Amino acid sequence: MCGLAGMARLGGGPVEPHQVEQLRAMSRCIAHRGPDDEDLLVDGPVGLAFRRLSLVDPERGGQPFVSEDGALALIANGEVYNHRALEAGLPGGARMRTDSDCEVLLHLYRHDNRRFLDAVQGMFAVIVWDRRRGKLVLARDRFGIKPLYFHRGRDRIVVASEIKALFQDPGCPRRLDWTRALADQSLQSSALFAHGPVNTWFKGVEAVPAGTVMEFDLEDGAVTRHRYWEFPDEVDHSLTPAEFIGGYGELLASSVEMCATADAELGLFLSGGIDSAAVAALASRTTPLTTFTVVNPGTFANGDAVNARRTADELGIPNHQILLDAARVPAPDEWRELLWLQESPRCGPEQFYKRELYRAAKDLRPELRGMLLGQASDEFNGGYAGQFGTSWPQALAAFEQMAGRTAVHRHPEVQPWLDHGTAPLLGAAAFGPADEHFPDAYHQYVRWKYRDVQQYNCWHEDRNAAGSGIEARVPFLDHRLVEHVLRIPPALRERLLWDKSVLREAMRGVLPERVRTMPKVPFFYGSGERQVRRTFVEMLVQDGGILLDQAFAGSGAREFLNPEGIRATVAGLARDPGGMPVEILLRLVNLGLLEGMLDTLPPAPSERPARDLASFATDGDFGTEGRRQLAERMLPHSALPEEAVLRLAEHVDLLQSRTTPDTWFLMVGGEIAYTVDESDPVERAWLTLLLDLDDARPLAELVDRADAMWPDLEPILREALEEGVLTRC
């Protein structure tokens, strides 16, 4: 991970001295992305600034890379994983001056111009100054893993890895785009498919599209775009399920091996699920790893933290459990710092916990430079299908409904016809011409997830990692891997994509069976969710609600928001955090806070003092006493006397697995919230108690009948009561 910044004058004329100082200011804004080195190059109408984080060839891999004749200069942020193979295929006469993986991009551009990224595997953002042709070239990887933004003014272009650097240019507007932000599907969380460009949230700021090379002619300002990768929409009927599974396993192993290669220390964020566990198992074959896990009210209550520790032990990998209990409420200034780092109104609980995890990891391992993640497996492997139904046909029907709602949303003028008749009266043509990119509703769904990965996953993972001088690496976003699963034909999707079967089957023999078959558990949603939401409601009301006051201070906020309505909603959530999700409400508050920051730009993230992280580290004691103590810290609102009488809530069912009789599932609202494993003595006692609940006995008696001790089951009962899985009679 590195930081890029640049400017180019349109119409001729060299970069002036005051603009060089502006370029230095842009570089300072992104110093956290590259704390190891800084270089500037000013050449005629173009200035480039590079901030380096050293992962490959620390001694000689500095940038910019400049061709021998001085006609080309290139800076790049990211990793080119197949650089050795690309170097071997260069034409005669090309000579590498360093061992940096990114230097090959200069030679590829010299030879192939706009086609220079066609064969590159990796994650990257690139700026090229092509003096020969008078062009500034901007490009990004296929999934937009590495960021690159630009503002084009009347007489110049400014470009940078983060938006905050663009605001150093006096010509770049400092205005929030309220209208576009409030209409964005990802901010609304509406049940619609969105496939448009990524929203930068600020007027006059654009993101270089993923999978695209942009050329700016500095003489006349003309812009050309070359799309070097298209999202695949063709399926392959020639492969059997076994061949799809085998191919997936080989590609994932290859991607992990590439991502786990560095000349610096790497870590891994480990949850209790299969995605990060698969990366851990494959990467640890060749690379020493230290893993890190968040223990917050959500991951404690839903068992994710416990499962992560068990997985690390089974794989023989060190695991640091980072404790963030219910008392860990972000301070107002701390939230503003995080929001400015993120530059996105979608900043929420997940970003806070991830930020703290990165900071704690860096505190525990100061030499850490890269972090492997299990991100983006769910998006393309069918991992979220279970949120749309209890079977693949139900999920597919939900996709069809979303496609229909999306069509109506785009053509509201025909909406009244949908209110007539007992069956649909209109054909598909009424909603506009068919889109050739979407052969079916499932493809609309994965196209939507492609945008969401860029708008959300890659954005916040990049910013959080950058804030601690760490590079996030995402093996599941290897384009070969994504192309492979998207070629699965409709007839095989249920077999291979429901519950991520293609990944689970590929990991047979690689992961312990317990881990390989572990149901998906959200990062903090589900069990423990109420306490997490309570934490962020407390953040909004602390210090007299100062964050709300700051959010409503701007002219745009007063025009586009209803402060009284938002305050009333926050007050309601303070009484009952089970109402409107606080993370949705936070998005409106964040918009107002961002608007206020534009008046007086906050200091760069690298200039902020570090907080004491010593209290976050825990040894992960999940034994009986440790679990009891953690329950008191994580779920302080769930006091439970032994004489209480409880029952299962109406929306909760207890079901036994058909394939693994020792495994039971607590289903909440039709989704798995808890997994109960009879092979574990405490969980077996918990299951016995659950099966006895209908007898309306006091808890102390039920615990005795389960042949258990009160301290063993009391923490679990507290969690279940807190989350509404159990209710008092």
What is the set of active-site residues?
2
Going from the C-alpha of 405 to that of each of 198, 411, 478, the distances in angstroms are 21, 10, 31
What torsion, rounded to 10 degrees, do the Cα atoms 551, 553, 557, 562 define?
80
Q: Report residue 454 as tokens.
A: 């860029």
If we measure between CA atoms, which residue out of 363, 365, 229 comes closest to residue 289?
365
Cα(470)–Cα(55) distance, integer angstroms: 10
Give me the DSSP letters along 217-265.
Answer: ETTT--EEEEE---------SS--HHHHHHHHHHHHHHHHHHHT--SSE
Cα(219)–Cα(89) distance, integer angstroms: 34
SS3 641: coil
Q: Report residue 603 as tokens.
A: 């200091």
Q: Which regions of 304-415 does DSSP assign to beta strands (E)? A: 319-323, 368-372
Residue whose pair of structure tokens reads 């906050």 in the numeric block: 602
Q: Report residue 551 as tokens.
A: 């959010």
Going from the C-alpha of 540 to that of each of 299, 554, 561, 562, 593, the distances in angstroms are 22, 18, 16, 16, 12
List phi, psi (to 5°) of 125.
Answer: -125, 135
Q: Report residue 620 as tokens.
A: 């992960």
Cα(652)–Cα(673) distance, integer angstroms: 9
Cα(147)–Cα(274) distance, integer angstroms: 28
Residue 644, burial from CB neighbour count under 10 angstroms (0-12, 13-18, 19+) = middle
Cα(164)–Cα(25) distance, integer angstroms: 11
Contact 444, 486 (CB under 8 A): no
Q: Report residue 491 as tokens.
A: 């007839």
List phi, psi (to 5°) of 152.
Answer: -110, 115
Q: Which regions of 95-155 does DSSP assign to beta strands (E)? A: 122-130, 135-140, 149-152
User: Which run of H or of E encompasses 677?
Assistant: strand 671-677
Cα(32)–Cα(22) distance, integer angstroms: 18
If we measure between CA atoms, which residue out of 161, 165, 205, 150 comes closest to residue 63?
161
SS3 24: helix
